[in-house]
Amino acid sequence: MTAENRPDLGALFDEHMRHEFVDLDLDATMETMVDQPHTYFAPTGAGGVGYAAVSAFYRDHFVGKSKWPADWNITPVSRTVGDDRLVEEFIVSFTHDVEMDYILPGVAPTGKHVEVPHVVVVAFEDDKIAHEHIYWDQASVLVQVGLLDPDRLPVVGVEQAAKLRDLAG
């Protein structure tokens, strides 16, 4: 594939994210992906491999989820696009006032505010997403919801996101 006819990977990923978080449209989300994609949330092991498993994961934990925190926000930090991969760094912020089992499995809503940097690595095949690998510091999330004591462990909470925001300018 030449540069002239290469798809705009950033636009494709933006469309995927819009279907996930704005439109809440499972079919449209899955249409942005290859026939046998995988999604992997490294800190919790959540996700799925293959069309049926990814579709079920999105249905049960993202696109089909009936309620997100009202203050859910994604703040872009940086994006790097290659020939067939996109790497995006962003900060997710929310008040943990609903169950969010993809990031805090088995943890009832705490009412605590959370801000945590994420990195997603997205691989493409032609004009479709082949996989997403999503990373964040789970210890930071656990500190922010009160499940880890930062005075007893070498971990930080919201300071992590604040520092990244300052560095990104």
Above pLDDT 90, what percent of the chain? 74
Q: In what order do the strands lie in the sheet with 46-49?
A: 46-49, 33-41, 128-136, 113-125, 85-95, 73-81
Please give the residue that has the higher pLDDT: either 167 or 95. 95
**Are the C-beta atoms of residues 90 and 114 closer than 8 Å to each other?**
no
User: pLDDT tens, 70-87?
Assistant: 899 999 999 999 999 999
CATH fold of 3-168 reads Nuclear Transport Factor 2; Chain: A, (3.10.450)
User: pLDDT tens, 20-72?
Assistant: 888 889 999 999 999 999 999 999 999 999 999 999 999 888 786 657 898 99
Q: From the CB of residue 21, how many other CB atoms can be counted at a distance below 10 Å?
A: 15
